[in-house]
Every structure is written in C-alpha cells, then in structure tokens.
Amino acid sequence: MGGEHAEVVRLLWGPHPKPARGPRPTLDLDRIARAGIEIADSEGLADVSMQRVAAQLGVTKMALYRYVPGKAELVALMVDAAIGPCPAAKVRRGDWREQLEEWARQLLTVFRQHSWALDATVGPRVMGPGELSWLERAVSALDGTGLSGAERMDAAVLLVGHVRGITQQTRAAGPGGNPEAQLGTILGDLMQEHGERFPALTAALASAAQSDGQDQAWDFGLQRILDGLAALIDRRAR
Amino acid sequence: MGGEHAEVVRLLWGPHPKPARGPRPTLDLDRIARAGIEIADSEGLADVSMQRVAAQLGVTKMALYRYVPGKAELVALMVDAAIGPCPAAKVRRGDWREQLEEWARQLLTVFRQHSWALDATVGPRVMGPGELSWLERAVSALDGTGLSGAERMDAAVLLVGHVRGITQQTRAAGPGGNPEAQLGTILGDLMQEHGERFPALTAALASAAQSDGQDQAWDFGLQRILDGLAALIDRRAR
DNA sequence: AGTATCAGTGTCCACTGGACACAGTTTTTT
DNA sequence: AAAAAACTGTGTCCAGTGGACACTGATACT
C-alpha cells in the first residue's frame, strides 16, 4: 500500500541526485513543469501531451521519460508548481477570520489563473510542498481558537471545497461576462420549456435575474462558512 | 455562443423522434448510458471508451455514433442517468435544515456510488433533468426562509461543493479503512521528514491521530454550512 | 586509455476518438 | 407489386496518444 506513490513522492519532495557520469542533462524538472503549465494555461490540460511538452522544450518526447516516469507524474509536478508556495499572510496574526478570508481569496486567484488544476486534482493524491504550504497556513490561522486538530483540518478542507466549487462554475465564462448570468441563460432556456417540472427553481431564477453581483456566489458561500466556523468557535469559548 | 450545446441539450432533454423508415434500432440512449455506467462503476471512467461500451452491448463501436455524436455526449448522458432523479423528501416540509441535511446525505450517497461522476463534472456544463431535480429540491427546501432567489441557489451550490469535496477525498479509500486515516498516514510520512517546514500541520495531525470518526470531515463541514445558513436566516428574520 | 554510466533519438506497439463508404433492412411512395 | 428513400450497423482508415526498447553519443571515474 502506498508503494506506488513512492515515485511521485520522490519527484515532488526530492532529493534529486545529479548524475555523476554521463552527458549533462539539458532539462530539469522545473523547466519541464513550467513548459507544461504554459501549455495548460493557454490551451487547457487536454492539450498537454508528452509530444507537446517535448516540442515546447525542443526535445523528443522520449527524452522526457528520462526525468518523469509517466504523464501522471508530469501533471502532479505541474500542479504543485502552479499552485506554488502559499504567500505569507498580510493581515495581523490572531484574527483567524480575516486571515482565512484573505487566504481563501488568494487561493481562488491561483485556481482561476490555472483553472486546469481542477481537472488535475480530482481524487486523493500525494500533495507536494506547494500544496501543503497552503494547508499549513489555513490550519495555523486557526491556532488558538479552541478547535481540535482534526477540526482545524476539516475547516481547511471545507474552504478548499468551496474554492474549487466556485472555480468550477466560474471558468470558461469569458473574462467579461459574469458566470452567474451565463449559467442563468442556459438554465433559463431550459426552464422556459420544462419550467413546470421545476417550480422552485424557476421562481428562484426569476428572482435572481436582476441580482448582478460579479462574485455573489463566492462571497455568499465564503461568509456562510466563516459564520458557521465563528458560531462553533464562540460556542466552544463559552 | 451556446450553439454547440444544442446537441447535448437535445440528447439530455429530448425529444427523441423514432425513425419512420429503416431497420429498427437495436439500442437506445438509456441502454447505452447504463452500459457506460456499469463500466465506470466497476473500472473507472478512464476505462470507458467507445469500444468498451460497444463491446458491452455486443455491437461495433461505430454503431454508437448513430446514437451519440461523441464521447463527451456519452459521458453527459451517463452522468445524468447515474445521478438520477432526486428522491422525494421524507422529512416534513417547513423545516429547511432537516430537509437540506437529508438532501445532502442522499446526494453524498449517490456520488459515492458513482465516484467517477466527479471527474465527469468538472467545468460548467449543460445539466440534465436528473441533475436539475436535485437542485430543485434544495432550492425548494429554502422556500419561505426569507432568502432571495440568488441566495437560495448559492446555498445549494455551496452544499454541492461540500459534497464534491468530501467525495473527492473519500474515494479510493477501501470500503473498510476510513479515509482520514489514510490521508493521515500519507501526510504523516511526509511530516516525519519535512515536519519542520509545517509546524501547524504537524501539530494538527498529531492531535487528529486519535480522532477516528468515520465521516468526521463530512459532518463537520455540513454542520458548519448549515450553521452559517441558520445565522443568516435568523438575522433576516429579525 | 578504457570503461561504465547516463542523455537524447528513432522506431515500434496497442489503443483512442472519429471520418467515411458500404451493405442490408425496413417503410413509404409510385 | 415494384421502386425509391431512409436508416442501421459494419469494415476500413487515419491522426494522435502514452509508453517500451534498442541504439548512438557524450561524459567522468578508474
């Protein structure tokens, strides 16, 4: 169990011993990951293939297999490099709510910049140092709140889930048009034809038509989660 | 815009006019979707190919293209058939919290039965009648709470995000072992080597080691979200 | 110098999603 | 009844994918 993970762990966490003999490598893991990220950012994850990445680096596809055992590992490297290390907090320590809110906004920004990372992070996987640094900051923001270790981690996971959910329904909406309107348009067309089967939905949609907040769903969910955490923390404090 | 969606909308929502002339079709969309689901359930979405599905149905792969324009549409059909129509609520109407909680648990069950549906539902897509029926029930549970239409939908989306997040970190953990322990083991191994870089995480992990609730993360997040919603609804009521 | 080691190339394979022409079956029209 | 039209499933073909493997060179230790 977990033996198959050993390889990707070594790739993500090192060490990376440089060879003693033989010709010098033309590539390195970092350049490979960055090349893949460049393609994924501009053309989507589906267009990331060994050939494509190799071409980007001016090399044959098989050369990549000298550095990376397979495509799965390549993608794992790309994800961790794209998510990157979590930037340091700017708000004062001690206020967990402000810290978590800033953290969530930063995470959302990163996910929006590399929205292909969503596709590449379905299912449980080995996390790299970048991804773990994000988790670290979220958990540390909750230090001293009276929450147990498991609860602090659960809270972080909950927030990540929201970020992912929002990223999912946001992306592919052109940078100009707001995503809720786009979703509403598609839904509205369907409701016009099958509305009688979904009365509550049509009503909600009609009432939601004039609300035009850019990030309404994001802020709503974020505040609800933070409210829920605050309620628990208060209860514990008493 | 949206013109490319027309085909999948027709597939998901009908109508499906039966041909007037020519030999009778051996297949229908429902059988095709179910064959795909069967494969995905037992072997994962990656093993669902046109050939594989066709073989399951005792037919050539190209025969499928008479019913479905491409693989993407096949998967869309599979998803909506697998998610299925939302079962009717068993708890009394009026208590939104109880209703939403039951709804979320049912949705989690469905996602766990077909965990490949996660992979197939990244990115915004056209929803089918099954998927919409779930949304309908969640929104209708919030009727009369004083929340606006947009807010009711945002709440549903928030809950779906949590269900997805939990499904994601749950799956591939054998039915016996609880997922948190598995995640903890992998994380623990990493912390042992690089723990000094993640002090808060190591502390939280150590404290979380003895907590062994099977669905701890699930219940925690669910209650936090519902608490947050309750707080808002109370505030509005006053 | 000699040799083990390692990098990048070229060739091969099974498989994927999909295009297309074709033969066979059924219904409508003449 | 006969012919035409419409439709289904099949066979064949193609570009592209991830990956295996043998090979030619370049490099550094002995």
Mean pLDDT by 10 residues, chain A (238 residues): 76 91 96 98 97 98 98 98 94 89 97 96 90 96 94 96 91 54 71 92 86 82 98 94
Q: What's the rounded Cα separation, in Å, for the pair A233 and A231?
A: 6
Same domain flag for A63 and A30: yes
pLDDT of residue B213: 67
Distance B20 CA to D5 C1' (A): 11
Least confident of A4-13, A45-54, B43-52, B202-211: B202-211
Of A169, A207, A232, the CB nearest to B149: A207
Residue A184 lies in a domain: no
Distance B63 CA to C21 C1' (A): 15
Which of A48, A83, A118 finishes a domain?
A: A83
pLDDT of residue B178: 54
Q: Which nucleotides of chain C are near protein (any atom < 7 Å from a CB)?
A: 4-11, 15-21, 24-28
Same domain flag for A69 and A116: no
pLDDT of residue A178: 54
Residue A182 lies in a domain: no
Residue B3 has pLDDT above 70, yes or no: no
Distance B22 CA to C20 C1' (A): 20
Residue B190 has pLDDT above 90, yes or no: no
Same domain flag for B71 and B108: no
pLDDT in tens, B133-178: 999 999 999 999 999 999 999 999 999 999 999 998 877 554 445 5
pLDDT in tens, A180-190: 556 667 778 88
Are A217 and B190 inside 8 Å of each other by CB?
no
pLDDT in tens, A127-138: 999 999 999 999
**Which of A122, A166, A190, A216 has the most B C-beta neighbours within 10 Å, making it the best mutation to test the interface with B?**
A122
The residue that leads in pLDDT, B98 or B122, is: B98
**Do B77 and B12 meet the contact criterion of CB atoms below 8 Å apart?**
yes
pLDDT of residue A2: 47
Provide the domain limits for residue A79. Answer: 3-15+22-83
Q: What's the rounded Cα separation, in Å, for the pair A84 and B207?
A: 27
Same domain flag for A165 and A94: yes
Of B153, B207, B217, the CB nearest to A204: B153
Residue A67 lies in a domain: yes
Closest C1' nucleotide to B19's CA: D7
Q: What's the rounded Cα separation, in Å, for the pair B174 and A235?
A: 35
Q: Which nucleotides of chain D are near protein (any atom < 7 Å from a CB)?
A: 5-12, 16-22, 25-29
pLDDT of residue A186: 74
Which of A170, A196, A226 finishes a domain?
A: A170
Q: Give the whole-number percent of chain B exceeding pLDDT 90.
A: 73
pLDDT in tens, A149-167: 999 999 999 999 999 999 9
Same domain flag for B64 and B22: yes
Mean pLDDT of B109-136: 94
| B232 chain-A contacts, CB cut-off 8 A | 224, 227
